[in-house]
A and B are shown apart, each in its own frame.
Chain A
Amino acid sequence: DTAVSQTPKYLVTQMGNDKSIKCEQNLGHDTMYWYKQDSKKFLKIMFSYNNKELIINETVPNRFSPKSPDKAHLNLHINSLELGDSAVYFCASSQSRGSNQPQHFGDGTRLSIL
């Protein structure tokens, strides 16, 4: 009955590889997000999609490409992985209607670059 689920939970890979992280939400939300959390626990927004359309695209290298096949899914593909990409990546979702709509987070994908 997980609300926001991400796979995989752990991802260990070599520098230069390409990898994807998947996210699905069953809350019926219309907006989904990707965040990056660094080793100091700082959480920073990367992307946001509303009804499959990109609405937030922070300063993120273009090696990162989000894809939203439908409202319930937002995947993150990363090309040519670098050491600095090591972090925990969180997917989140919220409902855009209504003024008080907190974001609900998945349990994260811990990406380690060797």
Chain B
Amino acid sequence: GESVGLHLPTLSVQEGDNSIINCAYSNSASDYFIWYKQESGKGPQFIIDIRSNMDKRQGQRVTVLLNKTVKHLSLQIAATQPGDSAVYFCAERMTGSARQLTFGSGTQLTVLP
């Protein structure tokens, strides 16, 4: 079946380094993608989104890259800080799916001092 998945379940980076979290999706009919951050005991928090007609979008310290050719999505976090430690989810929405999101399995990012 079609699914959203992540290459790595865990990622550890040194404070100050850049982080890259990857996500593979298999549904070419998806038109909208979102990255969420979930801290312990909290709900998923919106970070950044991108539509399928774009290949890059930047926010504050974060950049999302979309490669539709290989169905790959990545989240880049610049100058990673201890507060960035969390589980990161990518989510996709298929065209005409009544706003339904399909979530990936999540990547645990740990920032080392």
Give the interface of A toward B (CB within 8 A): 4, 31, 40-45, 48, 50, 55-56, 90, 92, 94, 96, 99-108
Closest chain A CB from B46 CB (angstroms):
5
Docked-complex contact A105 and B45, CB < 8 angstroms: yes
Docked-complex contact A90 and B100, CB < 8 angstroms: no
> A-B pairs with the 5 shortest C-beta distances?
A105-B43, A43-B103, A102-B46, A41-B106, A107-B43
The residues of B that contact A94 with a CB separation of less than 8 Å are 99
The residues of B that contact A43 with a CB separation of less than 8 Å are 44, 89, 103
Docked-complex contact A104 and B46, CB < 8 angstroms: yes
The residues of B that contact A104 with a CB separation of less than 8 Å are 46
Docked-complex contact A101 and B44, CB < 8 angstroms: no
| Whole-angstrom CA separation of A99 from B99 in the bound complex | 9
Give the interface of B toward A (CB within 8 A): 31-32, 34, 36, 38, 41-46, 49, 51, 87, 89, 98-103, 105-106
Closest chain A CB from B74 CB (angstroms):
18
| Whole-angstrom CA separation of A105 from B41 in the bound complex | 12
Closest chain A CB from B94 CB (angstroms):
12
| Residue from B38, B44, B45, B46 having most chain A Cβ neighbours under 10 A | B44
Q: Which of B45, B46, B87, B100 contacts A41 (CB 8 A)?
A: B87
A91 to B, closest residue via Cβ:
B43
Docked-complex contact A108 and B105, CB < 8 angstroms: no
The residues of A that contact B46 with a CB separation of less than 8 Å are 102-104
The residues of A that contact B98 with a CB separation of less than 8 Å are 48, 50, 55-56
The residues of A that contact B42 with a CB separation of less than 8 Å are 107-108
Sample (30) of A-B pairs whose CB atoms are under 8 Å apart: A4-B43, A31-B99, A40-B105, A41-B87, A42-B106, A43-B44, A43-B89, A44-B103, A45-B101, A45-B102, A48-B100, A56-B100, A94-B99, A96-B99, A100-B51, A101-B99, A102-B34, A102-B46, A103-B34, A103-B46, A103-B101, A104-B46, A105-B36, A105-B43, A105-B44, A106-B43, A107-B41, A107-B43, A108-B42, A108-B43
B45 to A, closest residue via Cβ:
A105
Docked-complex contact A99 and B44, CB < 8 angstroms: no
